[in-house]
Copies of this chain bind each other. A is one copy, B any other.
Amino acid sequence: MKIALYPGTFDPITKGHLDIIERASHLFDKVIVTVAVNSSKTPMFTTEERMELIRSAVKEIKLKNVSVDAFSGLLVNFARKKKASALIRGLRAVSDFEYEFQMALMNRKQAPTITTVFLMPHEKYTYLNSSIIREVSRLGGDVKDLVPTAVQKLLDQKLKTR
Chain A interface (Cβ < 8 Å from any Cβ of B): 2, 23, 26-28, 73-74, 76-77, 85-86, 91, 93-95, 97-99, 101-106, 109-110, 113, 115-120, 123-124, 126-129, 132, 136, 139-142, 145-146
Contacts and interface: CB of A to CB of B under 8 A. Distances in A.
Given A26-B113, A27-B115, A132-B106, A123 B120 contact: no
A89 to B, nearest CB: 9
Tally of this chain's copies = 6
Given A2-B27, A132-B106, A142-B110, A101 B115 contact: no
Contacts of A102: 127-129, 132
A120 B116 contact: yes
A106 B141 CA distance: 9
Given A74-B140, A106-B136, A110-B141, A101 B120 contact: yes
